[in-house]
A and B are shown apart, each in its own frame.
Chain A
Amino acid sequence: MAEYIIETNKGKWEIVVGLEIHCQIISKSKIFSSASTEFGDDPNVNVSFVDAGMPGMLPTLNKECVHQAVKTGLGLNAKINKYSEFSRKNYFYADMPTDYQITQFRYPIVGEGEITIDLSDGTTKKIGIERMHIEQDAGKSIHDLNPTKSYIDLNRAGVGLMEIVTKPDFRAPEEAGAFLRKLRSILRYLGTCDGNMDEGSMRCDVNVSVRPYGSNELRPRGEMKNVNSVKFVMQAIESEAKRHIEVYENGGQIEQETRQFDPATGQSKLMRKKEFAHDYRYFPEPDLPPLVLSDEYINTVRAEMIELPDAKKQRFVETLGLTPYDAMVLCENKEYAAFFEQAAQGHDAKKVANWMMGDFFAMLNKKRLDISQSPVSAENLGNLVELISKDVISGKIAKDVFEIMSETGEDPEKIVEEKGLKQVTDTGTIETIINEVIASNPDNVAAYKNGKTNLAGWFVGQVIKMSKGKANPSIVNKLIREKLDQ
C-alpha cells in the first residue's frame, strides 16, 4: 500500500498505532458466575450474589469462556499458553462490585499471533498480536435518569471479555479499519463474539503516536478509550496524529495520557485527571488456582476449527477461479461464504459469484434483508446460473426470472417452465420468424446486401424481440447471416 505520510510545511511524519480490543465472549453464563449473559432485561435481573460482590462470594471459571478464548487464539494464529493465571486489578469503580477486576496479567491465556489484513489497493499486510487475555466486564451506570444521581445496573457485570492487544504495527488509519473488519470477521466465523461495535460487544482502545518519517523512535502515545465504530477509530487516529504533530511542531511535548474521542467533533479530549494516578496493584487472584490446559485439550479445540476467511478466500481464488476482490467480499461474512458455496455447488462458481455480487446483493439491499432472510435460496440461485450455462434461458431472461424469484422464492426452472421462457433453439421456428422479418424489411435487406453488414445486429434484435426474447441469440445470429448472405 502507498505509505501514509502526514506532510506539513515543516516536515514529514508517520504514525504508529496499536489497538486494544475488548470482545465480549459468547457464552450462556458469565465468566465467573452462573448468571445469564442476556442483555435487554430489567436492571439487576441477571445478577448473582457473586456478580454483586457480596461478602464471601467466590468466582468459578466458566469452561465455555476458556474454550471460546482458545478458539479465538487459534483464529489469531497465536500461541495458546498451557499455563495461565488470573490476577486482580484493583481500582474503585461504581460499576465494578468487588472494586477489583479479575483479569489476566503476567500469564495470559493467549500469546503472540498475527493476522493478515486486506487493503483497498489489493495488497495485504500482517499485523502482529501481542497477547490476548480473558477477564470480566463491568456493569453499566445510567446517568440520565436523575440530575444528581447515577444508577447502577450489574446485568453486564461479569460477562466474559477477551482483550486482544496488537503490536504497534499500524501505519495508516485504513490499516486499523481493515484490521477491525478482519478481526470481526474472524470472531463471527468462530462464533466467539458477535463483533457489534455499536452495541458495545466489541470495544476498541486506540493508542496513537507519531514520529518523524524515517525514524525508528517510539514517542509517548495518546490512548483513546472505547471508540465505538470502525469509522471513528480511523477518525480518532487521524485527529490524534494531527494533534501530536501540531504540539511537536510548536516545540511542545506529548504526555502519555488517556483521552476520550468525541465522534460529534471528531476530536479527542483529555479525561479528567485525578490527584493520584491509577495504581492497579495487580496480584495473582487467590480465589482461582492457575489455569492449566493440556496439549490434548488444545488439540481437540484445534480439530474443531473451521476454515477462516483468509483460507477460504485463497481457496475461492485458487480452486474456484474467483477474483481476489470477489473472494474477499464473499469471505468477509461467514453467511455470504456459506451461501455462495452452497449456490456454487455443481455450477459455474464464477458466474454464481457474479450473480451474488450483482443482482443478488442489490436485491437484499433494496429489500433491506439479511442473507438468512433471502427469498432466493442458494440452491435456486445455483439453478438459475445453471439454466444460463445450459442455454435454457438467456442472460436477459435470467434477470426477469430472478426478479420473479425474489418475489415468490420459486424454483427458476418452474418459473421458466410455467411462463414459457425457455429459449427457442428449434431452427424451424426461428427460421419462420427470420423469414417474416426479412419479408417485412426489404429496404434494410437491400442496404445489407449493399455492404451495410453491420445491420445484421439489427436483424438479430428484431428476431429476438418477435420471439419475446426466447430465441437463442447465437442461433439467430448464425441463421440470419446465412439467410442474408444467400
Chain B
Amino acid sequence: MSDITRLTVSETLKALKTKEFTSYELTEAYLRNMENARNYNTYITENAEMALQQAKESDIRYAKGENRALEGIPLGIKDLFCTKNIRTTAASHILDNFIPPYESTVTQNLLDDGAVFLGKLNLDEFAMGGSNETSYFGPVINPWSKDKPLVPGGSSGGSAAAVAAHLCAAATGTDTGGSIREPAAFCGITGIKPTYGRCSRYGIVAFASSLDQAGPIAQDVRDCAILLKSMAGFDEKDSTSCEVAVPDYESFLDGDIKGLKIGLPKEYRPDGLNPEIAAYWDKAAEYLKARGAKIKEISLPHTKYALATYYVLAPAEASSNLARYDGIRYGFRADGQHLDDLYINTRTQGFGSEVKRRIMIGTYVLSAGYYDAYFLKAQKMRRLIHDDFMNAFKECDVILTPTSPITAFPIGDESMLENPINMYLNDVFTVSVNLAGLPALSLPIGLSAGGLPYGMQLIGKPFDEGTLFNVAAKIEVDAKFERI
C-alpha cells in the first residue's frame, strides 16, 4: 500500500477490516500529513494525543470483531461543532479559549460509530463567509492553488481543503447558505447539506438557526452516504430535528435513474453565466439523459430574490444568536468599568469585521419600525421561494444546477473585499436551498481552463437524500473527475 491516506472511507473500512493496516497506523499517517501541510492552515486545533488513543481502542475493537460503522476512521471536525474537552472556537477570538463540557449530537453520533477525531478544522468566523478569510486564525489555502494561494471557499473551508489534501479521511461541515457545497466545489470533492431537521443542531455553534444544517464533506459520493448515515437522526434535544427514519444511504448508490425527471431551472442560467460552467452543466445533464433520465426545464421564479432574502434572515437570526458572546460566562472578556462597557469592549475586540457587520445589519432589520419592511418581508419572500421548489417538484424528482458560478479565487481578492455584496453573490446558487430547507449535494464535474474544479449541485425533495446519492453516483462515474 503506497499511501493509505489517499483511500476513501469505504476503501479504508475494507482495509481495516481485513487488517491491511491498523487505525493507529492510519491515524499516525494522517497526523504526519497534517504536520507536513500546516501551511494550508486547515486545522485550528490538532487532537493528536486523543486521536491516537481513540485509534488504539478501535484497533482493539477490530481485533475482537466488535467494529462499528466508522470504526477507526480519522475525521476532521469543523470547529463549529462543540467537542467535549476539545477547544471549540468557531474561528473567533471571542471563543478562542472555550473548552466545551459537552459534545454535539452529530459528533457524538460519529464517536458512537467508532470515528477518530484528528482535530478541529478552520472556517469563516462563526461560519460567516464564503472564502474562509474571516477566520481569526487566518485564511485556509486551497490545495488546488497554483502560483498564488487560492481560497478554499467557505465557510467549511478547512474541512474541504483538509479532505482534498488528505489531511483527514472525511470531515464534518455545516451549511447555512452554501457553506458545505461551495467549498466542496472549490476543492474538487463532494459534500451534502441534508434536509433541514435531518441532523441535530444540538451542540453546533449557531449562526442562523432556521438555516443551519450539518453534513459531511468527503472524497466521493459513497463516503458522503456512509458519513451522513452516521451523522443523521432525530434528536430530542433539538426541537427542529425531524422524526424521520434514516435509510441506508449507500444502498441508493446502485439504483438506476431510468425515467427519473431532472429539472434544470431556467433562472439559474442568466445571460452572463460563465460559459465554462454552463457547458459543464449541459454535460452533466447529458450524462443523466444517456442513462435514461428525462431532462426538463423548470422555473423557480423567485430565485432572483433569494440572496437578498437570505441576507436579511441570516443576519437577523445571527444578531440574536451571537448576543450571548458577552464576556460573562465563557470566552474572551475585555475590561470595562461598567457592564455595558464590558459588553461593548468584549464584543468589539472579540468579533471580526464581517461578523460585526452582520450583527449590525441583523439588529437593524429587526428593530422597531423596520421589522415589517425587512424581516417580515424576507419571511414572506422565503415562503415564495419555498413554494417555487414545491411546485417544481411536482414536475421533477431532482434539480440539477451549478454549485457556484465561479472557481476558487485568490486570497485577498480586491473585488471581493471592496464590496461585501460581491462576496455574497457567490452564494447565488446555494442559498435558496437553505431557505427552502431542502437537501442538496455538490460534486466535482471538471476543471476550468485554469485547472480549477467546478461543482455541480443536485437538489432533492425533503428527506430524499437517497435520490441525490443515486443521481450523484451516476454523474461521478461519468465525469471521471480526478481528485488531488
Contact = CB atoms under 8 A, between A and B. Distances in A.
Interface of A: 49, 52-61, 88, 90, 92, 94, 97-100, 150, 152, 279, 281-283, 286-289
Contact of A55 (B98, B208, B237, B343): B98
B204 A288 contact: no
A88 B204 contact: no
B100 interface: yes
Interface in B217-276: 236-240
A59 B321 CA distance: 13
- Give 10 closest A-B pairs by Cβ, nearest first: A99-B323, A281-B366, A286-B209, A286-B210, A56-B203, A55-B205, A53-B324, A98-B324, A56-B82, A56-B204
Contacts of A61: 239
B95 A58 contact: no
Contact of B239 (A52, A59, A150): A59
B458 interface: no
Nearest to B379: A284
A289 B238 CA distance: 10
B330 interface: yes
Contacts of B329: 52-54, 97
B328 A49 contact: no
B326 A289 contact: no
B244 to A, nearest CB: 15
B21 interface: no
A55 B324 CA distance: 8
Given A55-B324, A57-B102, A90-B366, 12 more contacts: A54-B101, A55-B88, A55-B100, A55-B205, A56-B100, A56-B202, A56-B205, A58-B201, A58-B237, A88-B320, A99-B326, A279-B368
B343 to A, nearest CB: 6
Contacts of B433: none
Contacts of A90: 319-320, 323, 366
Interface string B348-375: 0000000000000001001110010001
Contacts of A287: 209, 238-240
Interface residues of B: mostly helix, strand, loop or mixed?
A: loop
Given A54-B102, A286-B209, A287-B209, A60 B239 contact: yes
A92 B323 contact: yes
B367 A281 contact: yes
B382 to A, nearest CB: 12
12 contacts: A56-B104, A56-B205, A56-B206, A94-B339, A97-B324, A97-B328, A97-B329, A281-B320, A283-B375, A286-B208, A286-B210, A288-B239
B210 to A, nearest CB: 4
Given A56-B104, A56-B204, A100-B323, A289 B236 contact: no
Contacts of B239: 58-61, 287-289
B323 A60 contact: no
Given A92-B326, A152-B328, A55 B209 contact: no
Interface string B281-323: 0000000000000000000000000000000000011011001
A92 B340 CA distance: 9
Contacts of B366: 90, 281-283
B110 interface: no
B90 A55 contact: yes
A259 to B, nearest CB: 21
Interface string B192-214: 00000000011111101110000
A308 to B, nearest CB: 33
Interface residues of B, number: 43
B238 A58 contact: yes
Contacts of A150: 339
A314 B310 CA distance: 59
Contacts of A99: 323-324, 326
A49 B339 contact: no
A55 B202 CA distance: 9
A92 B343 contact: yes
A193 B123 CA distance: 47
B320 A55 contact: no
Nearest to A100: B320
A152 to B, nearest CB: 7
Contacts of B319: 90, 281
Contact of A49 (B101, B236, B316): B101
B201 to A, nearest CB: 6
A58 to B, nearest CB: 5
Interface in B52-108: 81-82, 88, 90, 95, 98, 100-102, 104
Nearest to A92: B343
B236 A56 contact: no
Contact of B82 (A53, A55, A60, A92): A55
Nearest to A280: B368
Contact of B237 (A60, A282, A288): A60
Given A59-B239, A97-B324, A289-B240, A283 B206 contact: no
A52 B100 CA distance: 12
A52 B329 CA distance: 7
B222 to A, nearest CB: 29
Contacts of B339: 94, 150
Given A90-B366, A281-B363, A283-B375, A55 B206 contact: yes
A152 B82 CA distance: 25
Nearest to A48: B102
Contacts of A97: 324, 328-329
A283 B205 contact: no
Interface in B351-405: 363, 366-368, 371, 375
A61 B236 CA distance: 10
A97 B324 CA distance: 6
Nearest to B98: A55
B371 to A, nearest CB: 7
A372 B320 CA distance: 48
Nearest to A55: B205
B4 to A, nearest CB: 33
Nearest to A44: B329
Nearest to A285: B209
A31 to B, nearest CB: 13
Nearest to A32: B239
B100 A54 contact: yes
Contacts of B237: 58, 60
B241 to A, nearest CB: 9
Contacts of B363: 281
A170 to B, nearest CB: 29
B155 to A, nearest CB: 15
A150 B204 CA distance: 31
Contacts of A279: 367-368
A90 B319 CA distance: 9
A60 B201 CA distance: 13
Contacts of B201: 56, 58
B320 A283 contact: yes
Contacts of A152: 328
Contacts of B95: 55
Contacts of A94: 328, 339
A49 B238 CA distance: 14
A289 B239 CA distance: 7
Nearest to B367: A279
B107 to A, nearest CB: 11
A100 B209 CA distance: 14
Given A90-B323, A281-B320, A49 B102 contact: yes
Interface string B322-338: 01101011100000000
A94 B367 CA distance: 21
